[in-house]
Amino acid sequence: MNVISNSLKTFTTESFNSLNSPNTFGITITHQASWWLTSLDSPYFKALEESVQDVWGKEPLKIREGGTVPTIFWLEREFGAPCVHLPLGQASDAGHLPNERMRLLNLR
């Protein structure tokens, strides 16, 4: 993870310096978490995918996101069991912002 953090610091600092701005720039990384990615061929993922199709009548849209959910990696490692992740929100839900919300329709 240090390689990624250092690369981010270098890139953002160099990008800022190229602007020749009179402002100052600093970056401090206060937290790091391991990434997690499951196999789309996993029987657990396939079961989740079929359940979504049964309930909503549509194939789920598969998007790689959830970077703020570092517990998935930890749970899989700690319990030695595969995990799947089913987000319940929408892009307009303003996740982790002051007006974060979740539609009851999505929750139900």
The model carries a pTM of 0.60
pLDDT tens sequence across 6-62: 999 999 999 999 999 999 999 999 888 777 888 899 999 999 999 999 988 988 888
pLDDT of the residue at 51:
93
Which H or E run contains 51? helix 43-56
pLDDT of the residue at 37:
83
**Number of Cα atoms under 13 Å in the Cβ half of residue 39:** 5
pLDDT tens sequence across 71-84: 888 888 899 999 88
User: C-alpha distances in angstroms, 14 versus 9, 11, 32?
Assistant: 8, 5, 22
